[in-house]
Amino acid sequence: MIIGIVRESFPGERRVALIPASVPALTKAGFEVLVEPGAGAPAGYPDESYQQKGASLAGSRDEVFSRADVLFHVLGFGANPEAGRDDLPRYRPEQVVFGFLRPLGAPEAVAELARTGVTAFSIELLPRITRAQRMDALSSMSTVAGYKAVLMAADALPRMFPMLMTAAGTISPARVLVVGVGVAGLQAIATAKRLGAVVSAYDIRPAVKEQVQSLGARFVELPLETTQAEDVGGYARAQGEEFYRKQRELMARAVAESDVVITTANVPGRKAPVLITGEMVAGMNPGSVIVDMAAERGGNCALTRAGQTVSVHGVTILGAVNLASLVPFHASQMYSSNLTTLLLHMARDGRLNIDTDDEITRETLVARGGEVVHPRVLEALG
Ligand code: NAD
């Protein structure tokens, strides 16, 4: 079987779905890899490096679509509904497609993709079980994004992060607050610590307190009561508006005392909770920075504009979107490793064995035989 790698078409996207280092594992398992010219260039992987590892170079994008049995995308159609539309007529019914497809955010796009007849796997739906950890691209991308968010904050901040004792006086360290301590939040804490900031963090799930402390940060205790902060999957549960109102009130002081606030709070399948109001922003010192990593889901800050940087009351608010794409070399390396592991999990003698008795296969399979087949996507379609 031929695995096709095409250049990503989402505007500004720099990642590539497979890097040269992953090619030998696939060829050893009996697959061939066919790459569109220039596919890896924006991420720092030239065409020759693919060929050196045993991949072939196609003459064009059309050639990859017409010859490949399997297509690897980073942002597939649902996650790239405008530019990705150009590829819809190129898919062939017997093809298998892997990528981020935004199946619950854009279920209609998945339905449209299904109508091309392809078999599609959505990487976001990978079950977060121990066995699937090496395939967990969502965690990989959150790790990269959490790191980048801190660098962006440091860049926008008119202060330095570390404490310095110099002949010209003492520089006080930046105070960083991380709200939401999932995968991205943990990496944001670690990165801010490495840069020398004094870091504190809050999450609605009390279980993360130990993880925050083990990174050398302070866990902000808020006297908020919830018996059901976490679901069985380890995700936060949605709370009522009264809870969020109280949380904002209690968090206001921690926000006002911070030079940088990184927000990552999400509740699966919901709009992100608003945890920072305009009034709270007004209470921050001029020059402070908020990086809102929940921007794509509506934002944790009421003033956030997704994909934009706004300045209000002297506070810079970055509506961070698609941050992993801004560190394309390593984001691609991690994604490529995740996807290769997923494909090899399904591979038998150089072919794909789609066994829906297997949890990983069943949970990621969204389209087959011209139809949407995933119950959660069908439910989202209504
Ligand atoms: P996420 O992106 O869904 O949410 C980010 C964080 O926001 C979460 O920690 C959540 O608790 C927090 N949050 C939600 N509402 C909040 C509020 N009102 N105030 C403050 N914080 C709020 O989370 P994620 O990064 O995808 O990770 C979620 C969980 O899944 C974590 O426990 C993580 O360790 C776990 N996980 C497990 C695996 C695995 O076992 N393979 C892999 C990845 C993640």
Compute the distance from residue 314 Cα to the ligand 1 centre, in Å: 31
What's the confidence (pLDDT) of residue 226? 76
The residue whose CA is least distant from atom 37 of ligand 1 is 128
**What Rg do the C-alpha atoms of the chain give, in angstroms?**
22
Compute the distance from residue 143 Cα to the ligand 1 centre, in Å: 12
State the catalytic residues.
Answer: 128, 133, 136, 139, 235
Burial 310-343 (b: 16+ CB within 10 A, else e): eeeeebbbbbbebbbbbbbebbbbbbbbbbbbbb
What's the confidence (pLDDT) of residue 57? 98
- pTM of the predicted protein model: 0.96
Candidate from 264, 277, 293, 300 with most ligand 1 atoms within 8 A of CB, to mutate = 264
What's the confidence (pLDDT) of residue 268? 83
Return per-residue pLDDT of the chain as tens, 382 residues. Answer: 999 999 999 999 999 999 999 999 999 999 999 999 999 999 999 999 999 999 999 999 999 999 999 999 999 999 999 999 999 999 999 999 999 999 998 999 999 999 999 999 999 999 999 999 999 999 999 999 999 999 999 999 999 999 999 999 999 999 999 999 999 999 999 999 999 999 999 999 988 999 999 999 999 999 887 778 888 778 899 998 999 999 999 999 999 999 999 999 999 878 999 999 999 999 999 999 999 999 999 999 999 999 999 999 999 999 999 999 999 999 999 999 999 999 999 999 889 999 999 999 999 999 999 999 999 999 999 8
The residue whose CA is least distant from atom 18 of ligand 1 is 204
Residues 181, 203: Cα–Cα separation, whole Å:
6
Residues with CB under 6 A from ligand 1: 128, 133, 136, 139, 142, 179-185, 202-205, 234-236, 247, 264-268, 273, 275
Candidate from 131, 200, 205 with most ligand 1 atoms within 8 A of CB, to mutate = 205
The phi, psi pair for 317, rounded to 5°, reads -115, 115
Compute the distance from residue 235 Cα to the ligand 1 centre, in Å: 5
CA distances from residue 90 to 64, 84, 271 in whole angstroms, order as listed: 10, 11, 34
What's the confidence (pLDDT) of residue 298? 95
Beta strands at 175-179 and 119-122: parallel, antiparallel or unpaired: unpaired
Helix and strand numbers (H, E) in the chain are 12, 19
The string of DSSP codes covering 16-75 is: -S--GGGHHHHHHTT-EEEE-TTSSGGGT--HHHHHHTT-EE-SSHHHHHHH-SEEEEEE
Nearest ligand 1 atom to alpha carbon 275: 18
What's the confidence (pLDDT) of residue 122? 98
Candidate from 124, 126, 128, 231 with most ligand 1 atoms within 8 A of CB, to mutate = 128
Contact 193/199 with Cβ under 8 angstroms? yes
Q: Residues 301, 83, 113, CA angle at the centre, nearest 5°?
A: 95
Compute the distance from residue 230 Cα to the ligand 1 centre, in Å: 9
Residues 281, 265: Cα–Cα separation, whole Å:
17
The residue whose CA is least distant from atom 20 of ligand 1 is 203
The residue whose CA is least distant from atom 3 of ligand 1 is 266
